[in-house]
Amino acid sequence: MSDRILKVNAYTTLDLLDGRAEGHGFEEHALAVLNVTADRKNPDAVKLQLELDNTDLDSVPAHADEIELTPEQARTVAAALEERAATVESATDG
């Protein structure tokens, strides 16, 4: 990904994912980076960051999305991910 907004390094949670941007009248696919982080000093939130490779997108300008989660919200998301992962594993183990 050129012209990145997010720093991608050995500590990045997941890189080179299959991403999709969807809007009114368009749907585009691109490589994506997903990162979960918190400030090193005095963290007050868990940050969930997502960036799609803008070189593969025509309808969306270069940008990164970020949401801040409380520890409780982060645990809720983690639990939901675990549940969905188990659902997909069960369906594909058949």
In a domain, 8, yes or no: no
Count structural domains, the chain.
Answer: 1
In a domain, 4, yes or no: no
In a domain, 59, yes or no: yes
Radius of gyration (C-alpha) of the chain in whole angstroms: 15
In a domain, 1, yes or no: no
Split at pLDDT 50, 70, 90, the class of 5 is confident
In a domain, 3, yes or no: no
- DSSP one-letter code for 54: G
What is the strand order of the sheet 14-23 is part of?
14-23, 26-37, 46-52, 64-69
Residue 14 has pLDDT above 70, yes or no: yes
In a domain, 55, yes or no: yes
Please state whether the predicted TM-score (pTM) of the whole model is above 0.75: yes
- Domain residue limits at 42: 14-93
In a domain, 89, yes or no: yes
Q: Mind listing the pLDDT tens digit for each residue in 37-90?
A: 999 999 999 999 999 999 889 999 999 999 999 999 999 999 999 999 999 999
Over residues 15-35, the mean pLDDT reads 95
Residue 94 has pLDDT above 80, yes or no: no
In a domain, 5, yes or no: no
